[in-house]
Amino acid sequence: MPKVIFIIEHGEERVIEAPIGLSILEIAHQHEIDLEGACEGSLACATCHVIVDEEFYDKLAEPSEAEEDMLDLAFGLTHTSRLGCQIIITEELDGIRVRLPSATRNINI
């Protein structure tokens, strides 16, 4: 089973075995990792914003226009920012490292 490495407060790492086909957001919720996801993965907020390690960012599918619009609202946006609800685990993503930002911003549109 692929592994997802969550980098949480103070650089602490949590390594989680992740079933193929689940999103980063779903995996975080199953393992009580503090990734909000206020819209429950419906692509209507930016509270599941994560920062993907550079080596895995290019392995992800291009973000949709809707995801890019939501990312514009994210706190602490970087060039490797994505929404956790839009990253679906595959074998190719085994070992993916995602950093949780220090804060989130929930702006309803």
Q: For the domain that residue 90 is a member of, what is the CATH number?
A: 3.10.20.30
- Please determine, for residue 50, whether its predicted confidence score (pLDDT) is greater than 70: yes
- Please determine, for residue 106, whether its predicted confidence score (pLDDT) is greater than 80: no
Taking the complete model, does pTM exceed 0.85, yes or no? yes
47 within a domain of the structure (yes/no): yes
104 within a domain of the structure (yes/no): no
Q: Which residues contact 58 (CB under 8 A, 6 or more apart)?
A: none
86 and 43 Cβ atoms separated by less than 8 Å: yes
Average pLDDT, the chain: 93
Domain hosting residue 76, numbered range: 3-99
107 within a domain of the structure (yes/no): no
108 within a domain of the structure (yes/no): no
User: Could you give the number of structural domains in the chain?
Assistant: 1
58 within a domain of the structure (yes/no): yes
Rounded Cα distance between 2 and 20, Å, is 7
105 within a domain of the structure (yes/no): no
61 within a domain of the structure (yes/no): yes
Percent of the chain with pLDDT over 90: 87
DSSP code, position 9: G
